[in-house]
Structure 1
Amino acid sequence: MKRSTFLKLGAVMGALFSIPFNLIAKLSARSGDEKGFKVEAGKDRAGKSISPFEGDVFYTKVSAKDTDGGMFVFESTRIKEGGPILHTHYETDEWWYVLQGEFLIRVGETTYTAKAGDLVFGPRMVPHTFAKIGKGEARVMIAHQPAGKMEEYFRKLSEGVARNMTEEERNELRKAHGFEKVGPPITYLKQ
């Protein structure tokens, strides 16, 4: 057998041999704590809530790190009416489960009125947004699956990264985190 053929065969065998070990390592890293975990009401998974938007507090319940990027779940407590711009996620489905208060949630061309106990699903690549409506505090559980880079994006906003950015720079920041602006926030008549 020629030396070059022997070296190629050795490289192929090494790669094949490493596959089970790489898979085991990845699965072990993903499972983390085999007992699972509990995040109490009004608490954050890491013990530190964030505020990416004025009048809004996010409590991470399941971090992307917990699921090897499989999902990101957070509770949003909102005082201020309104919500984010109309946007599209490239590779992430999103859902909203209302815990308290009332929200308008637009997915594609349909706008739903959602109250406590209601869930709305928004598939990836479909424009969507939502808005808290009415007075008082409202709470909604939001999930991204897979997690994408949304958790990182919200942390950056909470740290003030976008505070002095131009709209073009904000658009680039969004795209770098897997989504883009496609329209304005929901408009509605305040009661």
Structure 2
Amino acid sequence: MDRRLFLQFPLFASALISQAHSQDNQPPKKGFKIEGNKDRYQEELLIMGGQFDCKISSKDSNGELLIYDTRREEKGGPALHMHHNQDEWFYIISGEFIIKVGDDTFNLKSGDSAFGPRKIPHAFAKISEGPAQMLVLFQPAGSMEDFFHQMAKLGKGVPKDQEKT
């Protein structure tokens, strides 16, 4: 065997393996519909004081995007936290929320949105009476979808709900 070919073979094999793995993780080749108040995979994720329905899975976008629709009955939300690799965007459908991003605090109502950049501590809490609904988007998705599934196994109140952020 030619020495140059022998030395190039590992690079070629690595490229083939990488291509095969990326083909396994390709997003769908067509659109899809998810009905209102339904989860992409018909799962029930009750965590952090709310119901989280996956609308766009990280599997749909090859890890680039994750969108949850969260419906909440009780006041409160998750404790102050941060994501090292994901930006997070909040869009209020109904009700009122308070969103803390770094040193800024925003009061949001229907139609309002807020952006939480990666590596900046943030939190949200429902502050209105009655039901409320919010879209939460993560970009890139990273391992956030797995995180939500692991949290759901721990129970709907974990981590402890916070009334104000």
Q: Among residues 118, 138, 141, which one is paired with 1:144 in the alignment?
A: 138
Match of 2:36 in 1: 41
Alignment of 1:85-100 (within 5 A): 85-100=79-94
Structure 1 residue 77 and structure 2 residue 77: aligned?
no
Q: Which amino acid aligns with 2:66?
A: F
Q: Among residues 91, 99, 111, which one is paired with 1:105 in the alignment?
A: 99
Helix, strand or coil for the counterpart of 2:150?
helix
Residues 56-101 of structure 1: CA deviation (Å, up to 9, x unaligned): 1110001112122112110010011011111111111000010111
Structure 1 residue 19 and structure 2 residue 15: aligned?
yes
* Structure 1 gap segments, 5+ residues each: 171-183
Match of 1:10 in 2: 6
Is the 1:104–1:133 Cα contact (8 Å) retained in structure 2? yes
Alpha-carbon distance in 2 for matches of 1:18, 1:156: 32
Is the 2:75–2:163 Cα contact (8 Å) retained in structure 1? no
Alpha-carbon distance in 2 for matches of 1:49, 1:160: 13
Q: Which amino acid aligns with 2:30?
A: K
Q: Among residues 113, 126, 129, which one is paired with 1:132 in the alignment?
A: 126
Match of 1:52 in 2: 47
Using CA pairs under 8 Å that are at least 6 residues apart, name the structure with larger relative contact order, 1 or 2.
2
Residues 39-71 of structure 1: CA deviation (Å, up to 9, x unaligned): 1111100012210134x1110001112122112
Helix, strand or coil for the counterpart of 1:139?
strand
1:20 deviates by 6.5
Is the 1:85–1:186 Cα contact (8 Å) retained in structure 2? no
Higher helix share: 1
Alpha-carbon distance in 2 for matches of 1:132, 1:162: 16
Alpha-carbon distance in 2 for matches of 1:128, 1:64: 22
Is the 1:130–1:186 Cα contact (8 Å) retained in structure 2? no
Distance 1:151 1:18, change over 3 A: closer
Match of 1:30 in 2: 26
Q: Which amino acid aligns with 1:101?
A: G
Helix, strand or coil for the counterpart of 2:51?
strand
CA RMSD after TM alignment? 2.8
If you compute each CA radius of gyration, which structure gives the higher value, 1 or 2? 1
Alpha-carbon distance in 2 for matches of 1:106, 1:147: 21
Distance 1:154 1:29, change over 3 A: closer
- Mean CA deviation greater in 152-161 or 113-122: 152-161
